[in-house]
Structure 1
């Protein structure tokens, strides 16, 4: 364990932590961080179709501003800000990892900004200067109503020059077969034969649509694959110096569909999923269509390179210098079908006519340079231990969105925006699009909406933590971090939907000749250039730990965490002005306005815990309870008419809960254990805008978090054979946002995400260095609905779910 930046036993670390070593990750079948969520109390992870994700610990969750959870590969932070609409952290795949650590509670002193709720660390396997080792894994599986999956990977390491130069490298590939079919279908509003009218909505609302598949275009279309590689060297020219350069690569692809399906066409009871797809109509057969640069498939690609150099120097017998220099370079793109949204927004079509096609292309980029240097004590026999360090980062994050379609420019009428072909203000020969928005589609892709956001963030910090054993086994802990954070945002917005001087079909002013692109209705684009924000943060930590006996550790901690401030992109004043005014965002003259910047928010966490080993190690109990005060929260303010949003510091909250992990050995060779986690994170008072509009009621939850989660496992070993069962249960999510009656975004048809239970089984045998096992994941075919969405018309509902029951064979080799 390195939760305190020094190697020590997890049983003696006064931090609430869940750690998974390589063998545990293998036996539970973990391939991604998603597979650890149900096994880790306090950990939440939500993903969206745009490619964004929101990871949180202990209820400190936010879809606005900076991230609330630190994510590290070794000593390199890689988490992203919520910039634009597609930002999400690029979690590494789980292969050839020494361990994964989930540190619960704020880690601001040692791990810095963003570790408000906690930190997740992916620790890669280090080179070895003395011994060779190898690990290989191959797997094949089949999914109910889906395609086959397979993977293969190998890692090897050892000395090149014994004691002086060593290496570690791996290559890994995984293909996950799809289980959602892409189909053509006849779709129409359902009619109740008894009344001749629309039926009463029945959750999950598939009964609102008559859906008849006419052709299966692509079976199991939502496949995905991952490719990772790494090479690390360790050079030890003397006993006191070690240099470890490494390079890591990862590429993830999702092929089509991104896992979403139509409720109306799917059989939820049998986990048989379909999605209706749209395609571009031929301009030769219909003058409404024009040829647009629109991919046929929904897909995504996410690639990163991580270059690092770790240096360790033993300055003396008791002092060690450690340096980490790293550069993280990432590019991500996602193409999401936007046809339903655009057809409704522009043509007021509740069901997409054949030949309509629209796509929203999202992009995310990261360039993170990090330099950290720390001095720390290395004398484990001394009652006094310490670490002091300096940290510098220069991060660039970009976000893009490009919406384009093949029908908007030729629509004769845009009913929601007042545009009529040949009508006012531009007259004969003008398009409905031009008369509505005052601008043509934006080149080079004929886009209706284009945005580019670029954020540069610099951080310079110094930190220290000391531990002093005032009497044998009783240790006081104190730490402090001071950080200077600077950031700058540049954002540009183009395309007709971003025109802040749109005529919306208004008549041409008397005496003028209105032409597209000039005069009274010349396009105006609201850009954000050079917006800056700067702050200094101070995050202390205090604690006490008592090693009452070698088997019993008790600890208490008071710690502060924070996430840095930010800058808002400007929203179009004309388009969003009424929304801003409606909730009180006006200046001294009563004109609509918005905050240009928002400040940091922070938490104070109060925690007690214990780690206990009983009955000669047959029983292990880890427990922690906490109370967190969260102040000045970075909250998203959504503008419902213009569909933009910005961030403001609104509201305070309280997070309370506990984490419990228990395992015991009732008889030889049988281990049984489990975890229980509870969390409640709620607003302390009403969250109100400047005019008193309530965005969140006192006592309402923050985020669609699940209050309870349980896991249970049992493993029996008999000679070379073993059998294991894992069960996890997550209760339904709390009412939040569209599912919260107290929210202005409330949709009475939607419900919080369902409770669900999953059961995984594995039976295997070890033959020397080879481990072969048969597994079943999601034994009961649980089908909870994630992200149930009405797609703007309250008729067509889509969702995603767990991978259906999967049966497979894994063969692993260790040397």
Structure 2
């Protein structure tokens, strides 16, 4: 209640002060900000809201990649993995249970998120508690655009955005005309099953200029290409087992009771159901010959469902907009992992397949989020004023539940010599409930010192409170452990910038900004971990608390349009200093881990994006980036106290070079420029130096293995546009590479190697309709 009252008081006080002060610094506006944005959009520029205000991407002093709906469709982007492949300076790792994203070398698979994930103005990222689960990402259908902001966004977007922020922007209901968009697709994957999709979006007025709606529905089936087999017989148990079904729906209504007020309630629903994981076993696969097989004893099915209900209210106060956003995000992710060989090999120390045909050890996971968020902000809207600003307050209450249950009825047989299995034998049973509360005040202003020079300053104050209640029991725990912990912090995050509009088409900017993510608490682990904790210097058990870590980012960039519309370029160089890093310390003797603040790292690099039209009808685009992220000091605490957890000079895991190339040629068919042919090539370089020496239980790659290889993904599309239709044929992964993106031993140094690979060559046809 104290925070809610303070939020209301600050909002009302700020509103009164700013309205009173507005005439002192405002000049007469000759054109509304929305009209300026509309003019820029009609000129072919993507309009973004990275600064909470609508601006051309070429006028925003932030390193940003933006994908309009047209660009998403033309490049055949269907999910977030496709977005990352075409964004410089970012790498992404995904399994059927977790996701890990790295922006400019800042990533972590423990603790709070390093990257903010937003649907419109609502954050949905998850905290990693060490019990599985990862971020969910909206499927790419009928999105107005996607914005990828590189570098810390701690002022306007707060905790969890210290590496960057990714925003999925949905379309607003139309108030004046009917808009229809539909898309269907059929495809087949070499060595695998068929895929297909169908989606329809309709938006239009119910009462002209007063009441509008937007409604959409979408279904997609991604055919599988990994066969699950029996390790005893070699026979296929489930062909194309890793097939996935996706269901998406959205409904939004905008009511404009008076010209200055818009109220938009909406609900977004998504459900992804995977029949089995895409993980392949090297022992049974022939990657060059298109044989992709898994010998899991347990079907690793998963379900990931969320709905997001929100209401956005915008009030035009005359030169100032008041915006209030309230939302409730409810997500439930359940999945199963096969612990059969993991358990057996961990406890026996022998590298072998399951001993018994019906031996199974399922690990059932449940990760649930229930997030309440609210934000109110005031922002200037007079484009000719020398001062542009935004101030606001934010509150969130995020409750997360993480459950894990491992049962293995054969463990008493192979470990103790029992004559018969023991049904329901519990190896591990864990129940953790966390609550992250956050209250923040923020503001950012840009002042035009001259017609060409402006200064930016921003600050965010956060009051964070993290609590956890954890209960653990089972064979590996010993006596039941009940633990409760709390961590509170109050960080400040400033941002400073200098912007120089050298010409009407060229912006040069420099910025320094701080980002952070909140700390947490390590629940107690079982008695099995005592010897190893003692060996690495923790005789009294794991450290209970870990603190927030933070970054300072320094960036110099340029954005320019040239040649009277011939092309444009965006480029930036950066240095990011990462302190007090939250890192996982693995205890592979008992299968647990804890989080501690260990070491610091520095990331340096650059990114470039450009578009050019060298001849009529031909458009060329490219995005490339380089990131050198490495640890600056040696930290001990590996398997023993004398082993380094990280060493000075170790690289933070991630591809140093990223490159995307695109070309499209438009030709006459049905109408002028009604046909097109395009090609897209995406490349992620092999890491040139081994990442840090980490226990395999930490989820990192063992230094005895290769680092992820270079990834090359080439696609092409040929299409025509008869009337309002767009019909095209395509081929993805033309080179038919089965490059692996993740290789692991499932957390056990004696486990068999497994790989996640990219989808083999896929052919298809897409039909889209836009009215």
Whether these two folds match at TM > 0.5 is yes
Determine which structure has more spread, i.e. the larger CA radius of gyration: 1
Extract unaligned runs of 5+ from structure 2. 1-47, 668-672
- Specify the alignment match of 2:112 in structure 1: 66
The match for 1:797 among 753, 756, 766 is 753
Q: Distance in 1 between matches of 2:534 and 2:296?
A: 39
Shift of the alpha carbon at 1:795? Answer: 7.2
- Specify the alignment match of 1:538 in structure 2: 492
- Specify the alignment match of 2:533 in structure 1: 580
Q: Distance in 1 between matches of 2:603 and 2:703?
A: 27
Q: 1:45 to 1:349 in 2, by over 3 A?
A: closer
User: Within 5 A, what are the aligned runs for 1:364-763?
Assistant: 364-409=367-412, 411=413, 414=415, 419=416, 445-499=424-478, 524-529=479-484, 531-572=485-526, 574-586=527-539, 592-689=540-637, 693-702=643-652, 704-718=653-667, 719-733=673-687, 734-737=689-692, 747=702, 749-763=704-718
**Are 2:294 and 1:275 equivalent residues in the alignment?**
yes
Q: Distance in 2 between matches of 1:698 and 1:273?
A: 38
Q: Distance in 1 between matches of 2:702 and 2:445?
A: 51
Q: 1:654 to 1:595 in 2, by over 3 A?
A: same
**Are 2:282 and 1:263 equivalent residues in the alignment?**
yes
Give TM-score, length-normalised by structure 1: 0.85
Shift of the alpha carbon at 1:350? Answer: 1.1
**Are 2:129 and 1:83 equivalent residues in the alignment?**
yes
- Specify the alignment match of 1:167 in structure 2: 213
The match for 2:359 among 356, 374, 377 is 356
**Are 2:251 and 1:231 equivalent residues in the alignment?**
yes
Shift of the alpha carbon at 1:701? Answer: 1.4
Shift of the alpha carbon at 1:306? Answer: 0.2
Q: Deviations over 1:267-296 (max 9, x none)?
A: 211332112243xxxxxxxxxxxxxxxxx6
- Specify the alignment match of 1:509 in structure 2: none
Q: Match of 1:528, SS?
A: strand
Q: Distance in 2 between matches of 1:400 and 1:740?
A: 24
- Give the root-mean-square deviation of aligned CA atoms: 2.0
Q: Deviations over 1:750-803 (max 9, x none)?
A: 110111211100000001110000000000111112322345465732212000
The match for 2:70 among 15, 23, 37 is 23
Extract unaligned runs of 5+ from structure 1. 187-212, 279-295, 422-430, 434-439, 500-523, 587-591
Q: Match of 1:34, SS?
A: helix
Residue-pair matches, total: 712
Shift of the alpha carbon at 1:174? Answer: 0.2
Q: Distance in 1 between matches of 2:263 and 2:605?
A: 42
Give TM-score, length-normalised by structure 2: 0.90
Q: 1:377 to 1:624 in 2, by over 3 A?
A: same
Q: 1:106 to 1:214 in 2, by over 3 A?
A: closer
Q: Distance in 2 between matches of 1:794 and 1:371?
A: 48
Q: Distance in 2 between matches of 1:550 and 1:325?
A: 38
Shift of the alpha carbon at 1:526? Answer: 2.1
Q: 1:585 to 1:740 in 2, by over 3 A?
A: closer
Q: Match of 1:238, SS?
A: coil
**Are 2:739 and 1:784 equivalent residues in the alignment?**
yes
Q: Deviations over 1:418-462 (max 9, x none)?
A: x465xxxxxxxxx999xxxxxx98xxx542211111110100000
Are the counterparts in 2 of residues 627 and 657 from structure 1 also a CA contact under 8 Å? yes
Q: Match of 2:71, SS?
A: helix
Q: Match of 1:525, SS?
A: strand
Shift of the alpha carbon at 1:172? Answer: 0.2
Q: Match of 2:530, SS?
A: helix
Q: Distance in 2 between matches of 1:85 and 1:240?
A: 48
Are the counterparts in 1 of residues 255 and 263 from structure 2 also a CA contact under 8 Å? yes
Shift of the alpha carbon at 1:215? Answer: 2.1
Q: Match of 2:257, SS?
A: strand
Shift of the alpha carbon at 1:621? Answer: 1.1
Q: Match of 2:716, SS?
A: strand
The match for 1:5 among 26, 42, 52 is 52
**Are 2:149 and 1:103 equivalent residues in the alignment?**
yes
- Specify the alignment match of 1:253 in structure 2: 273
Shift of the alpha carbon at 1:214? Answer: 3.8
- Specify the alignment match of 1:119 in structure 2: 165
Q: Distance in 1 between matches of 2:343 and 2:587?
A: 18
- Specify the alignment match of 1:217 in structure 2: 237
Are the counterparts in 2 of residues 172 and 229 from structure 1 also a CA contact under 8 Å? yes
Q: Distance in 2 between matches of 1:165 and 1:716?
A: 41
Q: Distance in 2 between matches of 1:271 and 1:737?
A: 32
**Are 2:189 and 1:156 equivalent residues in the alignment?**
no
Shift of the alpha carbon at 1:547? Answer: 1.3
Q: Match of 1:309, SS?
A: strand
Shift of the alpha carbon at 1:746? Answer: 7.4
Deviates more, 1:687-696 or 1:218-227: 687-696
Are the counterparts in 2 of residues 480 and 539 from structure 1 also a CA contact under 8 Å? yes
Q: Distance in 1 between matches of 2:142 and 2:255?
A: 21
Q: Distance in 1 between matches of 2:700 and 2:495?
A: 38
Q: Distance in 2 between matches of 1:621 and 1:270?
A: 42
Q: Distance in 1 between matches of 2:165 and 2:325?
A: 18
Are the counterparts in 2 of residues 253 and 300 from structure 1 also a CA contact under 8 Å? yes
Shift of the alpha carbon at 1:301? Answer: 0.2
User: Within 5 A, what are the aligned runs for 1:203-214?
Assistant: 214=234
Q: Match of 1:682, SS?
A: strand
Q: 1:184 to 1:577 in 2, by over 3 A?
A: closer
Q: Distance in 2 between matches of 1:601 and 1:656?
A: 18
